[in-house]
């Protein structure tokens, strides 16, 4: 097992990419902390992890709220006494022209996607360092590498997330903490649910798992500050 007995916090772990990562990590031997805002989804994923013979902890958490993030880390340490992996996956989007985007809407996207990534990273850092190091994987987007029309807030947050990844990777070298990101292209997730698109040419949540397992595992122990782009190509599924 590539993640045997590692403890992984996965934000946005109740659905979509986060859910797929939680279950995929459990298959690889990790104990899973599922953090999300919807309790019923958390319970469903935590139960699946337990059914795979791994320990799980489900915590309701709004990652844009620092007190709730502190509680997430405190409860994780109380149960497991270590944090080896953080997957900053939780995110939201807002699709409208820039001239029609309200300040409140723009700031909300940044607060979850970028500030939330910062808060989770900040509060796991010391426990992770004390455990001998670890791996942080930020689930960004191709929207953090290129611009998408009607997604100015989302792209701004994801570009920021990639810059944050690279800065933290430099800080992490002395603490044995690796920080990398994946940048999925079009994926069949809730963020794109309102867009009419050919889903046969989109990534599934499960398509993201292998890259995250690799970055979370000791196989990538010499890799930090990198962004792995994930794109669908080839024949129709």
User: Which residues are known to be catalytic?
Assistant: 154
Residue 170 structure tokens: 């430099």
Q: Is residue 86 helix, strand or coil?
A: strand
Judge whether 59 and 72 are in contact, CB under 8 Å: yes
Q: CA-CA distance, 63 to 61, in Å (whole number)?
A: 6
| CB-count exposure of residue 148 (10 Å: 0-12, 13-18, 19+) | middle
Distance between CA atoms of 129 and 194, rounded to whole angstroms?
41
Sheet with strand 56-60: strands edge to edge: 56-60, 31-36, 7-11, 85-88, 134-139, 177-184, 227-230
Residue with tokens 């986060």: 18
DSSP state of 203: B
Query: What whole-number distance in Å separates Cα of residue 235 and Cα of residue 233?
Result: 7
């Amino acid at each position: 097992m590539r993640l045997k007995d590692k403890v992984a916090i996965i934000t946005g772990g109740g659905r979509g990419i986060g859910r797929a990562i939680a279950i995929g990590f459990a298959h690889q031997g990790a104990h899973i902390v599922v953090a999300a805002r919807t309790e019923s989804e958390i319970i469903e994923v935590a139960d699946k992890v337990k059914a795979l013979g791994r320990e799980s902890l489900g915590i309701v958490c709004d990652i844009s709220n620092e007190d709730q993030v502190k509680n997430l880390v405190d409860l994780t340490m109380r149960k497991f006494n270590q944090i080896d992996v953080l997957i900053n996956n939780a995110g939201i989007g807002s699709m409208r022209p820039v001239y029609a985007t309200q300040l409140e809407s723009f700031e909300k996207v940044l607060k979850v996607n970028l500030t939330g990534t910062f808060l989770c990273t900040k509060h796991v850092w010391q426990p992770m360092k004390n455990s001998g190091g670890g791996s942080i994987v930020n689930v960004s987007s191709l929207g953090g590498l290129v611009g998408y029309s009607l997604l100015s807030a989302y792209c701004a947050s994801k570009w920021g997330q990639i810059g944050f990844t690279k800065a933290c990777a430099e800080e992490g070298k002395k603490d044995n903490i690796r920080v990398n990101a994946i940048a999925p292209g079009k994926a069949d997730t809730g963020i794109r649910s309102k867009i009419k698109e050919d889903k046969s040419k989109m990534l599934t949540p499960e398509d993201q798992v292998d890259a995250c397992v690799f970055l979370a595992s000791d196989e990538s122990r010499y890799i930090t500050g990198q962004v792995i782009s994930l794109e669908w190509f080839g024949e129709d599924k």
